[in-house]
Structure 1
């Protein structure tokens, strides 16, 4: 039996009746900067209980039990339990093989490639990082040192991680690596030429992986002698923060290669999601209509701050305009052009104008916002002057409609995997349980009817996907069976 907890002087001081209310106000202020009370009530309830009763008062236990009994039956609680099960679902996808690569070779030392290399080194793997010149690799090594210093703290461990990460301009690591990850710019011909060269020099057992964000694997692998070796391993930015990694399999990708890739992602402490190789895959395809709708709202003279506030009030970690700036407007344009090539539609002119003026977002200190010292400069805006509910509906409905299309096309196997992908890949409001879970709770027919309404007023981009009919029919059958 552990000994009873004894409080120190600081704990006894902060638990005094006269101190708790003052300290509680400060803690409440800090909480409100990070989360909203109506979305995540539990931390606020815990604080209120402590301020009112302290920890030594027997009534504190009664109040704590009462608060827990109220919180545990809320929608937020049920949805967050659902999110926990989604995380376990993704972890379970990597249990089919026990293969652990020891040497990773990354080609392309840009923002994504450099950070992928750093993360793999942090997780204990030997990594060689290739690019055309040393000046392209140097910034990635600097970012890696910052990551190691932040995560590891101890100087000997930081140095060990740095020793595992080796610049490799000549690409000698290709012949020794267990897995080779391509992370160059989004151009089909460039990727094909690179993989043709890699295939001639790598080990027969090496896994060939592309970090492409939108180009179908079955287009890249056409030039390979063994196209079944190619798999997509698509990380999200920032690599060290985003847990999800899409593992993309084309028609020719072998099952063994897919399973090895899933196991590798779990090995480096990320959440693998198996996704069919279609344009945009899952996350970018579902996210892009949401981002494009936000830019169309900008073209309607709605301020960026208002659009982002509408999304944040829904529960998004940041608004779509700031998200586009953070990802990079050039990357958004590239993905948008690729997806419109396959699915139709148009790219908003204002996005192309930003690129033409070299306003790429946060990395160029100006996009739809201006940035100073890495922080967004916002204008004061009276949100009451705008219809935030309509703005929010337009943004979220575009995302939900695309999610249903992906489910109908079997881009992933289940609705739960779509929810997991959007929560862990984009930060979709966790307390809502994911886009399809939210749609189910709201009512499939209600959402389809809203889409019909916007189709009439705003055009065919809101045309409900036929997958809504399948969901409505299934839901009605379940209700009939339950009755």
Structure 2
């Protein structure tokens, strides 16, 4: 059984209370939650060891990665069955530890949030997206947020903010309250016509290097934090997850291999400089000592 309702703990608990008594004792209960820790979801289950995260990414038909989320209670057999199911449907399973946001959304969200901070400061959406595209991303973070849905971005950011002190930009909440949720409502950071973003070719491009660094450094720093917390065990697994889960510029080798090529010492020095100007969210995390 795969549960894939909206991101609300109480609603998921209600589903579990209703379906668990109807399930066979050896059945797998999988959740497609994108950010809620499985430990929180399992509190209403009589058999918490049967719960596993099978987290797909949108658009499902195009995204090969599936996060297989496990907890200290997870049965090894249940995890193996989840991995086998994922392989059977032609997807790439990545075992990750249960933690708010897991791996991919945990690393992606600070990058998207920083894009919105830039927007709130007056940077044009076109300038923000150009900086990411020039780095090699398949889509800019502003257009990506619109595509995901600003309500979903807001929900995930709120879930992560309580766990990791990620500040949610005011601008994001304003869009959600105005029901400007991105591509699906025809209006978000961009206006949409026939599903296509209407971009201003004459938009001010600002300081492209600064914009690119602010976006990247948030993502890279969170990747180092995930390595430190053993969300995954190895640099190469983390990098593969971010490449296949977000489309992170594949020729860069993933966020941590890119950091090694750029030079960890000089990179963290640049982060400290940004931290002095824009706040502690840019201060290098302890996990950088493991990136070698």
Short-chain TM bin? over 0.9
| CA offset digits 1:388-418 (Å, max 9, x no partner) | 0110011001000000000000001111111
- The answer to whether structure 1 residue 309 and structure 2 residue 130 are counterparts is yes
* Aligned residue among 279, 284, 290 for 1:464: 284
Q: C-alpha separation between the residues in 2 aligned to 1:454 and 1:447?
A: 11
The alpha-carbon deviation at position 207 of structure 1 amounts to 1.1
Q: Distance in 2 between matches of 1:360 and 1:288?
A: 17
How far 1:382 moved relative to its partner? 5.2
Q: Distance in 2 between matches of 1:240 and 1:204?
A: 31
Q: CA deviation at 1:205?
A: 2.3
Say yes or no: does 1:333 pair with 2:154. Answer: yes
Q: Return the offset for 1:344.
A: 1.2
What residue in structure 2 maps to residue 278 of structure 1? 99
One of 367, 387, 405 as aligned partner of 2:188? 367
Contact 2:56 2:67 (8 Å CA) reproduced: yes
The Cα of 1:381 is off from its aligned counterpart by 2.5
1:234 has 2:51 as partner: no
| 1:416-427 alignment, distance < 5 Å | 416-427=236-247
Query: 1:374-393 counterparts in 2 under 5 A?
Result: 374-381=195-202, 386-393=206-213
CA contact (8 A) 1:306 1:381 kept: no
Distance 2:233 2:74 in 1: 17
Whether 1:444 aligns to 2:273 is no
CA contact (8 A) 2:110 2:166 kept: no
Indicate conservation of the 8 Å contact 2:224/2:256, yes or no: yes
Note the alpha carbon deviations across 1:267-310, whole angstroms, 9 max, x for none.
00011000000001000000000000000000111100010000
Question: Could you tell me whether the CA contact under 8 Å between 2:227 and 2:290 is conserved in 1?
Answer: no
Which of 262, 275, 290 is 1:455 aligned to? 275
CA contact (8 A) 1:244 1:271 kept: yes
Asked if 1:396 is matched to 2:216, the reply is yes
Where does structure 1 lack aligned partners over 5 or more consecutive residues?
Answer: 1-179, 476-483
In 1, Cα distance between the equivalents of 2:215 and 2:202? 20
RMSD: 1.0
Q: For 1:21-420, list aligned pairs within 5 A.
A: 180-381=1-202, 386-420=206-240
* Other structure's SS at 1:237 match: coil
The residue matched to 1:376 in structure 2 has which SS? Answer: strand
Secondary structure of the residue aligned to 1:386 is coil
Moved over 6 A (4+): none
Distance in 2 (alpha carbons) for counterparts of 1:230 and 1:470: 31
- 1:24-77 CA distances to partner (integer Å, 9 max, x unpaired)? xxxxxxxxxxxxxxxxxxxxxxxxxxxxxxxxxxxxxxxxxxxxxxxxxxxxxx
Q: What SS is found at the alignment partner of 1:245? A: strand
- Which runs of no fewer than 5 residues in structure 2 stay unpaired? none
What is the alpha-carbon distance in structure 2 between the residues aligned to residue 299 and residue 274 of structure 1? Answer: 36
Does the aligned pair in 2 maintain the 1:217–1:250 contact within 8 Å? yes
After TM superposition, the score normalised by the length of structure 1 is 0.60
1:258: Cα distance to partner? Answer: 0.7
Q: Which has the higher contact order (CA 8 A, sep 6+)?
A: 2
Give 3-state SS (helix, strand or coil) of 2:15's partner: helix
Tell me how many residue pairs correspond in the alignment.
292
Q: 1 CA distance for matches of 2:32 and 2:91?
A: 15
Question: What TM-score results when the alignment is normalised by the length of structure 2?
Answer: 0.98
In 2, distance between residues paired with 1:381 and 1:428? 27
Q: Provide the C-alpha distance between the structure 2 equivalents of 1:417 and 1:470, rounded to a whole number of angstroms.
A: 14
